[in-house]
Each structure stands twice: as structure tokens, then as C-alpha cells.
Structure 1
Amino acid sequence: MTTAPKRKHIPQHRQPATASPGEASRRRPDIRPQHFLGLKDSTLVPTANLLQIKDTVIDTVESKAMSVIYGDPGLGKSFSTRATIQEMNPDLILPLDFARSRPGPKDLREELFHQMRLNCKMPGTATAFDKLLREALPRRPYVIVCDEAQQYRRENFEFLRKLWDNCDPQPAIVFVGGREAYETLQPMWRTRWAVPDPEYGENPLPPLLFVFNRLGARNPDTVIPALEKLTWRHWAGHERHQHFSYDQKLPIVTVDFDKLRAHGPAGQVFRRFGRTGHQTLHHAVGNPHRDAYLARRREEEAVRDAEQREEQRRKAERDARRPRCTSCQNTFSDDRWEAVENTPADPHPTLCVACAWRASDAEQTARRQAEQERLRQEAAAEEEAQGRRFFRRRSSSERQ
């Protein structure tokens, strides 16, 4: 049986904090070690394997790390792990045991939700579930114990690793299972090169550092230019805006061992292929010109955002003073507002354009109707006057 991480074992071993009787009574799952044939009054014998696993679990819990205890079946991996964690606070132990084989990430999320006794409704989506777990796990120093980890899918390990990476502080995770679990976890635990999120298509490869020691017949002053010429297609970037982009390019950096020893790793002793002069390791691996360009771009965007906010503030203040139409209650347009302010003789200064047009049309219609009525009345009066004159002439002629 093998454990990871390993350490040297000595007769005296540290003891984890024991749980009080009140805490022991609140244990949710049965995490006690299962003795052979369930023998009563059996005694736990501290074998070499048990002590090794005990130290591994204690180290994992104290450092809030991830570890795997793996080996062939029947070597006591689960027994020793249970014997160690039962002496800890049971409220902090989150054993992930599943009735069915090959559980998925959904099963892990639901089991963690139930084990932590979260007083809320279970989220319906994976994104909301992960956010809830990232918020709940750092509240207490939990220890996640994954027994029979050889049955886990790769997606389960990826889920737990990302959950561990995104928690602060991080929980301790102990995987217990066969060799399949270790073979799946080993590639995930290799050193990872962390790069920021790609910006403008920039996603460089992990850097490669050559340390040249001036020993032997080969001269680094001639080897480095030859190596730079042979590998140019792997490191050469292309010009973009005001900097060079190294998307999917390999940063190759060289350093002279004597200069490194004289100035230390923080000195300007590193040279990157494609650049002149020496830089610090941070600048050699990175892209200072691109960082400066992005900084200037962010400053310009910040200035534009400030100007937009100021313009919106002025617009809001102007809109607060903008008059409303007394007829339809709509606010004046800029043109109408300016026309009303610049035309003191406006016949309808309290109306918007549409209402002013309708009012003007109504006034013109009223004037036309009034004019027509006046003309009709005048015509009627004229006709009546002519009738009276004719009647008088006829009456006088009849008398004659």
C-alpha cells in the first residue's frame, strides 16, 4: 500500500484533536473503523501502514491539502483512514459515500450539500450549486474524505480540484482507493503553469528556461545565438498594435549561471529570445510592452467612462428641468424646448409640437367657421334689406 504525500515515520506520532462526548453524539455518518467480523472489544494495533496513513491524514488536514491513499484491495486503507478521522471533530468530516458505483459530479454536489447541513434550498443548476459550495466550505475547516475513489470518474476529480482551488481557505481532501485513483490524479497534480485569462487572443505557452554554466569546451556566447536561430518559429511573436503578441508561442529564456549566482533570481540577468538586453525573470517571461499598452487602454477606457457618466449626469439634470406639455403630459423635445425659450411670442409655449399643431389647426378652423358665419349673416342681412326696399317701391306704385 502506498500513500501520497509520503514522509518518514518515527515511533512517536502526533495525535489529532479529539472530539468531545457532545460532539461525538452528533456524528452523522458511521465513520468508525469496521473490525474484522465485527468482533467486540477488539483492540486497534498500530501497524506500520496505519501509522503511515495516520501521519498522511494529519499532514493533509493541517496543511489543508489534497492527498491520495492508494494500494491493492485488502491492505487496510479505508480502515486506517476511518481510525484516524474518528478522533477528529465529526462535524468537520464530510465523508462522500455512495450506494451506487461510478457516481458523477451531481452526486458529489448533493452529498456535500447534505453532509454540511446547509439550511437552504438545493440549487437547480451546477453553476449555482458550485457557487454555494465555494461560499459554504471556507466557513469551517472541513475535511472531505472520498472512499472508494477508484470508482470516481475523471469529472469528479476535476470538480473537487476546481472546488479546492477556488475556496479560500481551502478544505482538506483525502482520496482513498485503488491504484486507478492515483493514476487518474497524478496528471492533475503536476505543476501547472498559471496564466491570466486570454486578452485580445493572447494565450502563451509555459516558459522554458535554459541555465548555462561556463564549464567545458562549449561557449554559451555561441551556443545561445545558434539555439535562438534554430527555434525562432517557436518563440517569435507578431506585431500587434503597439506591442508584440505571443499567442501560442513558447517563451524561451536563458541565464548565465555566474550572473545568476552574483545577482540572484531577482536581478536583471535573464534574456528572452527575440529581445535585446537583460531583464528580470518576471519581465522576461511576461510581456511588459503589452502590459503597458493594456494599462494605457484601460486608462483611456476609464476616462471615456468618466466622460460618459458626466454626460449622463448632465443629461439627467437637464431632463429634470425639461418642461412637460400641459395637454398630453409628454416632455418637450430639445428642438421644441429651444424654440419656446428663443421665441417669446410663441402662441402655445406650454404645448409640445404635436399639441401646438393641433391647437393651431383648431384655432384656424374656428376662425374659418367664424368668418363663414359672419359672411352668411351679412348675406342674410343684405338679402333681407333688399326685400324690404322692393316691398316699399311696390306699395307706393300701387297707391298711385
Structure 2
Amino acid sequence: MRRYTEWFELLASKADKVKAHAARRDGAAVHDFRLWSRIYPATGQEGYVPVAFVFTGRTEVQRASRMRRLEQSARRYFAGTPYPWAGFTADYHQAAPVVVTELERITADPAGAAGRVWRRLGREEWQTLSKALDNPDGERLYRVEKEQSRRRQAEREAVEREAQRPVCTRCGTKFTDERWLWVQQHRTLPHRELCDPCLDDHYEQVRAEKAARIQAEEAVAREAAEADAKKGCGLFGRRR
């Protein structure tokens, strides 16, 4: 498995070493720089070309022991790398899937090699070859977990943002997004503590009070003018 992995990591002719090294962090992108991808067709799965071992002979216990020894010694080559900050998902893009079986198991199964006679190293159950080569805990699940994590983060941020939303000091109503953005952009203008309806009511009240004040001042002025006019007239309305 070490020699297989070393071969899988050989760069293709004229491949850019710097770009190939950077692509190691980008999943399957690194394979475009590797020699094996020029020789083997795409597998449709994550990782390198699968490797299969078929054990035979001796006893069932001995065959199981040999498979366990292979599993222990080759783990670093077939086990995926855990995705950072993910759940139980693993990055298999630079791992070689290894499946094992027994010739006796294949001949005993009515479906032969198409039956549930394969075990993927790192797993316990016996599966069909296609199932064994699948990566249900790989990138597919990682993308689901990543999307779920993104949604949870967005929900947390929405809750935190809502907790910070200003409340009108007059009516107690929370600000709309538009009003909140406006007060953030106009920090020096007055009445930033009021929501839009209360702000409209406030200015309507100011206009009404101003109009009432003007009317009152005009009424006082008229009364004063009338009083002055009366003082300037005689008993019969003649000016002295």
C-alpha cells in the first residue's frame, strides 16, 4: 500500500509542482496534476484507484487474522483525513480505498463476486463492491454537514442581531430593518430613538403645536390691534 500510494502521488509530466502542492488542500483538484489520472479513468469516487485483496487457503480464522494485520499496517494509506471542524466526515481524496474478500466467501455466495462478499478496510460489515467503495461519510456528507452548520450559524446570527434591534422609546415597537439602517447611518440626527410611525406622529404634533402657536399669536395681535383702535376713538367714534 505504501508503494501504491507513492505511485498515486507521482506528478504527471510537466505538471506545475507549486500548483499541485497548493491543490492538495482542495479535495480532488490535486488529481489533475498526478500521473495516475492520465492512465486510469475517473473512478466516480473520492480517492485513488481502489485496491482489492483476495485471501484464500488455510482456515477462516487465519484468513481473518491476515486481513486484520493488513488493516492495522495499512491504515495510514486507506483511512481518510478528518475534515477540520466537521462531524464524523473524512476527506478520502488522497486515500486509496482498500477492499478485501476471501475466495471461499465468493464461491459460497450465489451472486459470486457481485454479492455481499467485500469488506472495506476501516469498516466491519460485508457489502457489495459498489457499496464498499462508496463513501457515505465522505465529501457528500461533509457538504451536508457544512450546509447545516452554515444554517445554524445564520440562525444564531439572526437571533443575536434580533436581540440588538432597537426598540421605540415611545410605543415599544421594534425598529424595522429600514429604520434601523437609517439610524445607524445618521447617528447625529435627533429622535433616533423613535420608530417611523412615532417619528411621523412627533413631527405632526410639532407642526400642529406650531400652527396653534401661530394662531394664538395672531389672535393676541388682533386683539391688541382692536384694543388700540378703540382707545383712539371718542365717545361717538371720532378721533380726538
Q: Which has the larger radius of gyration?
A: 1
Instruction: Tell me which of the two structures has the higher relative contact order, counting C-alpha pairs closer than 8 angstroms and 6 or more residues apart.
Output: 2
